[in-house]
């Protein structure tokens, strides 16, 4: 297990390093980094001053080393729009994103696993067909279309929830539903096939045959063996949720990181985009690492193999 953990951790660190390096290379390829950092409207004096201050005329290896040094010390530059450290600008938006993301992930997990298991137990029957059709619809509906339709119906016609913002507790409902829809749908599909697979297994038939009650079989045999697939799928949902959060936050004027990044990308506020993306990469890589470790812990074949 130690060897397995070590290789996984080295891979994670390598991935983050490669991402940081790719941004560095991209920054150089885009032309003058000083111009990119100051924005297209900056005066040539300001650009020149920054080139001097940043040592942009130094050898590229030295610049790269300095860049890594700064990032290792949490220095990601100042937001071009707000004239404050990019890290501060992004951190202020963290709570809103975490609230939305965790709510959506919770809803998706509970609903997805329940619906998927239900469908698997009724495979081929009406319940199953309805659930499968709904899941296909959920996976095929882009979340910005769903979000707009939800606003249209629930905020403008029925007037039971606000159209956006984060002022009232009910503001969370529509964004959370929008963000959860895709993950719920894919979790339902994965749970369904994972449970179906286990239900066909010999050990489940044996468990029933030796007279174990239904719930014993469900918890001890079915849930345990389906869990492996589900952990992987849950880990993958984070990357999906991040892309979804950008859109969802924009539609509902939710003051989170996703919306901040979309605005910053449009205004070409590079330091903010850089730090936001860095945070995203680090969190996705960490979750993938945890998934791998959980997988290795649950299934000895993987860590030995």
Q: Which residues would be at the binding site for other proteins (CB under 8 A)?
A: 11, 14-15, 18-19, 22-23, 26-27, 29-30, 36, 136-137, 139-142, 144-145, 148-149, 151-152, 156, 163, 239, 242-243, 246-247, 250-251, 261-262, 264-266, 268-270, 273-274, 276-277, 280-281, 284-285, 288
Instruction: Provide, rounded to whole angstroms, the least separation between the CB of residue 204 and other proteins.
Output: 18
| Residue nearer to other proteins on the CB measure, 112 or 276 | 276
Q: Which is nearer to other proteins, 41 or 266 (CB)?
A: 266
Decide: 294 and 104 in contact? Cβ < 8 Å. no
281 vs 41, 48, 131, 185, 272, CA distance in Å? 30, 32, 33, 24, 14
We find the least distance from the C-beta atom of residue 210 to other proteins, in angstroms, to be 28
Which pairs from 151-159 meet CB under 8 Å and 24+ separation? Answer: 151/251, 151/252
Whole-number minimum distance, CB 43 to other proteins, in Å? Answer: 20
Of the two residues 254 and 270, which places its CB atom closer to other proteins in the complex?
Answer: 270
How far apart are alpha carbons 201 and 217 in whole angstroms?
A: 12
Closer to other proteins by Cβ: residue 107 or 265: 265
Least distance from C-beta 266 to other proteins, angstroms? 5
**Residue 19 or residue 204: which is nearer to other proteins going by CB?**
19
Q: Which is nearer to other proteins, 165 or 214 (CB)?
A: 165
């Amino acid at each position: 297990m130690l060897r397995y953990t070590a290789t996984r951790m080295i891979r994670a660190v390598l991935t983050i390093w490669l991402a940081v390096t790719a941004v560095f290379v991209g920054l150089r390829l885009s032309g003058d980094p000083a111009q990119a950092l100051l924005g297209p409207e900056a005066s040539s004096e300001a650009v020149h001053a920054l080139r001097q201050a940043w040592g942009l005329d130094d050898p590229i290896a030295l610049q790269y080393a300095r860049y890594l040094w700064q990032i290792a010390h949490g220095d990601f530059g100042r937001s071009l729009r707000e004239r404050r450290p990019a890290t501060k600008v992004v951190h202020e938006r963290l709570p809103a994103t975490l609230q939305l993301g965790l709510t959506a992930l919770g809803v998706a997990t509970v609903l997805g696993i329940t619906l998927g298991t239900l469908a698997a137990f009724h495979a081929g029957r009406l319940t199953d067909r309805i659930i499968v059709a709904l899941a296909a619809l959920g996976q095929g509906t882009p979340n910005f279309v769903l979000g707009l339709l939800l606003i249209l119906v629930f905020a403008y016609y029925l007037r039971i929830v606000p159209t956006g913002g984060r002022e009232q507790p009910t503001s969370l409902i529509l964004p959370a539903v929008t963000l959860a829809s895709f993950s719920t749908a894919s979790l339902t599909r994965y749970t369904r096939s994972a449970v179906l697979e286990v239900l066909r297994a010999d050990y489940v038939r044996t468990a029933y045959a030796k007279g174990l009650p239904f719930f014993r079989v469900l918890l001890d045999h079915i849930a345990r063996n389906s869990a492996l697939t589900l952990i992987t799928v849950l880990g993958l949902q984070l990357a999906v949720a991040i892309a979804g959060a950008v859109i969802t936050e924009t539609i509902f004027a939710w003051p989170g990181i996703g919306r901040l990044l979309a605005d910053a990308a449009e205004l070409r506020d590079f330091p903010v985009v850089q730090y936001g993306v860095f945070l995203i990469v680090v969190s996705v890589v960490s979750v993938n690492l945890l998934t791998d470790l959980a997988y290795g812990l649950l299934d000895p074949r993987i860590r030995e193999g």
